[in-house]
């Protein structure tokens, strides 16, 4: 004999499912009564989407990708051990590659590099123009400054008085923030690879390409100079010392020859006459040993510089015409219809639920 409690629970489930189906049917019927309003609002949304797509400006994308291979300053016994370990299948490579990539990526986003790029010149229509002036022109910022004499007469290629310099730096700082947030993107597409991608998106095709070219050149040159600064300084010091000792050695050799020529028939009984020649010969030999050591150190310094110099090899760089993106009018219309119609249906649905709750409370 079936349990009466289980039969009662089963009937309650059947009633709840029935009520759900009836509720959905009533909701559909109610929405259909509002179809004219939903249609009008949906068409309005489609019309707004059409106008938005029609007036939205084209975005041009300039993209540069390059490989960053850091120089290896590890040499000597550690390098030999690394080679032996490599033969044994053990990897002793340096593990700082990802952090070095993050360093150069942060350098791209730094204010100093962005400002330096904005103050770079680019040839446009046969005339050199600062990129900051190009930015102000195509964004219509110059025209909005007409009512302010200080901004209207602001020149970014001049550093005259302190007041204009302060205003100039303030404007450049604000524009640099905008460039970082809306124009410039620096990323590493694959964390396993040493490839860095630099993208510049702008409504002006010339500005997008010029800014991309300039910032890649500025940042990469600065990065290489910074990484090799110490090695270059050491090389410069060694080169100076080597040249100095070589000049001293040449002087000592000439002095020895002059002393020998001055005493062609040296009297063996007068040893004092040998002193100048011996002294010059000793100086020449001493400087020769020092020069030999300096030359070895100089070659080692050159090798160290080559090892520490990072390799930056461009893979792709922007060329005209740039890739452009613009919202399709058909897509904008469909999005407008769907969004506005969906919100209208949601609005009526919430109203229907609210009315039912109010009605049940009254009962």
> What residue spans of the chain are helical by DSSP H?
4-33, 35-55, 76-87, 97-108, 111-118, 131-138, 141-144, 149-152, 162-178, 205-227, 229-262, 275-308, 329-362
Tens digits of residue pLDDT in 301-341: 778 777 777 778 888 888 888 888 876 677 877 888 889 88
Characterize 292-324 residue by residue with b for buried, 16 or more Cβ atoms within 10 angstroms of its Cβ, and e for exposed.
eebeebbeebeebbeebbbebeeeeebeeebee
> What sign does the CA torsion over 337, 340, 343, 345 have?
negative
Query: Same domain, yes or no, for 79 and 215?
Result: yes
Query: Same domain, yes or no, for 242 and 120?
Result: no
Query: Same domain, yes or no, for 358 and 237?
Result: no
pLDDT at residue 79, rounded to an integer: 47
Query: Same domain, yes or no, for 50 and 63?
Result: no
Each residue's pLDDT tens digit in the chain (363 positions)? 455 555 455 455 555 777 777 778 888 888 888 888 888 888 888 888 777 777 777 889 999 998 887 665 444 434 444 443 343 333 444 444 444 677 788 889 899 999 999 998 888 777 888 999 999 988 888 888 888 888 878 888 766 555 678 888 888 989 999 999 989 999 887 777 778 899 999 988 999 999 999 999 999 888 888 888 777 777 788 888 888 878 877 776 766 666 565 555 555 555 454 556 666 666 777 777 887 887 887 788 778 777 777 778 888 888 888 888 876 677 877 888 889 888 888 888 888 787 777 776 555
Query: Same domain, yes or no, for 38 and 63?
Result: no
Dihedral pair phi/psi, residue 124, rounded to 5°: -130, 120
Tens digits of residue pLDDT in 135-147: 998 888 888 888 8
Query: Same domain, yes or no, for 44 and 65?
Result: no
Query: Same domain, yes or no, for 124 and 174?
Result: yes
Q: What residue numbers bound the domain in which 345 lies?
A: 4-55+332-362
Query: Same domain, yes or no, for 159 and 237?
Result: no
Query: Same domain, yes or no, for 15 and 155?
Result: no
Residues 6+ apart with CB under 8 A from 193: none
pLDDT at residue 251, rounded to an integer: 73
Query: Same domain, yes or no, for 189 and 242?
Result: no
Query: Same domain, yes or no, for 318 and 178?
Result: yes
Q: What is the domain count for the chain?
A: 3
pTM given for the model:
0.64
Query: Same domain, yes or no, for 161 and 107?
Result: yes
The DSSP 8-state label assigned to residue 180 in this structure reads I
């Amino acid at each position: 004999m079936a349990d009466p409690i289980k039969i009662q629970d089963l009937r309650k489930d059947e009633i709840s499912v029935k009520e759900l189906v009836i509720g959905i049917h009533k909701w559909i019927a109610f929405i259909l009564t509002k179809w004219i309003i939903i249609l009008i609002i949906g068409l309005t949304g489609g019309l707004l989407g059409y106008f938005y797509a029609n007036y939205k400006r084209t975005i041009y994308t300039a993209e540069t990708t390059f490989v960053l291979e850091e120089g290896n300053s590890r040499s000597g016994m550690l390098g030999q051990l690394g080679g032996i370990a490599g033969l044994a299948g053990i990897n002793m490579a340096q593990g700082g590659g990802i952090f070095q990539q993050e360093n150069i990526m942060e350098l791209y986003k730094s204010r100093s590099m962005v400002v330096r790029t904005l103050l770079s010149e680019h040839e446009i229509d046969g005339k050199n123009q600062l990129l900051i002036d190009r930015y102000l022109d195509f964004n219509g910022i110059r025209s909005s400054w007409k009512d302010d004499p200080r901004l209207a007469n602001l020149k970014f290629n001049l550093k005259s008085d302190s007041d204009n310099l302060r205003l100039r730096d303030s404007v450049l700082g604000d524009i640099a923030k905008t460039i970082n947030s809306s124009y410039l993107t620096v990323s590493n597409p694959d964390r396993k690879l040493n490839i860095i991608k630099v993208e510049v998106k702008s409504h002006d095709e010339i500005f997008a390409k010029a800014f991309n070219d300039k910032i890649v050149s500025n940042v990469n040159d600065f990065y290489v100079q910074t990484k090799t600064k110490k090695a270059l300084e050491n090389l410069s010091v060694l080169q100076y010392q080597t040249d100095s000792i070589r000049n001293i050695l040449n002087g000592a050799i000439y002095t020895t020859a002059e002393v020998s020529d001055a005493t062609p028939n040296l009297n063996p009984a007068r040893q004092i006459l040998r002193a100048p020649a011996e002294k010059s010969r000793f100086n020449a030999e001493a400087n020769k040993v020092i020069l030999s050591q300096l030359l070895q150190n100089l070659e080692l310094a050159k090798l160290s510089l080559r090892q520490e110099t990072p390799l930056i090899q461009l893979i792709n760089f922007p060329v005209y015409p740039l890739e452009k993106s613009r919202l399709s009018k058909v897509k904008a219309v469909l999005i407008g219809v769907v969004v506005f119609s969906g919100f209208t249906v949601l609005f009526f649905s919430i109203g229907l639920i609210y009315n039912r709750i109010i009605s049940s409370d009254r009962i």
